[in-house]
Amino acid sequence: MRTLLLALTLLTACGTQYRDTGAPITAQQDFDAARYLGTWYEIARYPVPFQKGCTATTATYGAVDADTVSVLNQCREDRPDGPLKEIAGTADITGPGQLKVQFASVPFIRAPYWVLWVDDAYETAVVGVPNGRAGWILARSPQISEARRSKANSVLRQNGYDPAQLFEVPHAAP
């Protein structure tokens, strides 16, 4: 678990880059943090060391105050019914669609988390980081339609990401 936490702290410092940083990156300007709260399933992600072996991944956000949300990331190790791993922290809202995440077990490090797009119903979201070393497609359920996936991939491309490098996240069968 310490390795997972250390790798997370290095998110903005090193790792494979999945985004052309010469391309503009834009967070959703009309982002509504209150509507974003709740549980999101990770549909796809760019491979990052701190999530190696993670399947059935979820992120749950809760209200702390007007400028801060709680964060609980959970995943199953190696398979959708494997051992549970989790890490908790907070995210400060620093601008429209822009947050800085900090985990209690990793003091002094705040990693960027930009909501690049969320659909009108707040059912599907695309998240990225300016340095392009991480990115996620999230949804309120473990599967999404082809139309929503196509839109998510389009948002990634518009922000300089290559959707072909995404890792599909397995979830347990319903």
Q: Is the dihedral of CA 77, 42, 165, 97 positive or negative?
A: negative
Structure token pair of residue 23: 């391309």
Instruction: Count up the domains in the chain and report the number.
Output: 1
Whether residue 113 lies inside any domain: the answer is yes
Q: Which residue, 112, 1, 101, is CA-closest to 54?
A: 1
Q: What percent of the chain has pLDDT over 70?
A: 91
Domain with 72, as residue range(s), is 34-159
Whether residue 140 lies inside any domain: the answer is yes
Read off the pLDDT of residues 32-86 as tens digits, 9 standing for 90 and up. Answer: 999 999 999 999 999 988 889 999 999 999 999 999 999 999 999 988 889 999 9
d(CA 117, CA 73): 20
Mean residue pLDDT of the chain comes to 90
Average pLDDT rounded to a whole number, residues 25-35: 97
Whether residue 172 lies inside any domain: the answer is no
pLDDT of residue 14: 57
Q: How confident is the model at residue 174 (pLDDT cuts 50, 70, 90)?
A: low
Lowest mean pLDDT among 11-15, 77-81, 125-129, 152-156: 11-15
DSSP state of 119: -
Whether residue 166 lies inside any domain: the answer is no
Q: How confident is the model at residue 120 (pLDDT cuts 50, 70, 90)?
A: very high
Give yes or no for residue 166 having a pLDDT over 60: yes
Whether residue 16 lies inside any domain: the answer is no
Whether residue 17 lies inside any domain: the answer is no
CATH code at 80?
2.40.128.20
